[in-house]
Amino acid sequence: MHDAGVCHRDLKPENLMLDANYNLKVADFGFAAPTAGRDGKSGKLHTQLGTASYMAPEIHLGKAYDGPAVDVLATGIILFVMMTQRPPFSQASPDDPHYRLLIGKRADLFWAAHEEAEGEDIYSKEFKSLFEGMLAFNPKERLTIKQVLAHPFFAGETKTISAIKADFDNRKAVVD
């Protein structure tokens, strides 16, 4: 998520695109900021900009925040949307009843509500663990991008590039 010292704070599904080979591209860096902070040394950001449904709780609460930590949270929300085609909650705020279930140690009720909406349990134990770690209320407890990439959710067999391309070609044909 971070390149060249820039924090991407306005990630949303419409800013995610695929190139001709189905490589993910992230666009719209209108709210990008230096990861070292505006002062160049503290690493903290203060501006409250972006899309509310993808903002971390520390932004909603008007606190200084760490760019990489808020990016991990926004990426967790995007991952959830990619898995389910709907958002996990309205916003990552203590006032949001669904987010409050996650941070109030009632994740079982959060997942039960989403399983009911899906009509089945589509969430693996690894996905739940990853999502909960990415959405932790306390940014110091939130997974880092390195921890996300090393998470068991990403372990195991993966499709070959040619199999993925064939799958996406089939999906594109349906859409076209």
Residue 168 domain flag: no
Residue 93 domain flag: yes
Give the relative orientation of helices 67-84 and 125-134 as an angle to the nearest 10 degrees: 150
Which residue among 3, 10, 71, 167 is the active-site one?
10
Q: Are 121 and 112 in contact (CB under 8 A)?
A: no
What is the signed CA dihedral for 123, 103, 49, 30, rounded to 10 degrees?
-30
User: Tell me: the pLDDT tens digits for 17-62?
Assistant: 777 777 777 665 555 556 555 555 556 666 666 677 888 899 888 8
Number of folded domains that form the chain: 1
**Residue 98 domain boundaries:** 6-163
Residue 17 domain flag: yes
Active site residue 10: yes
User: Tell me: the pLDDT tens digits for 107-162?
Assistant: 999 999 988 877 777 889 999 999 999 999 999 999 998 999 999 998 877 778 88
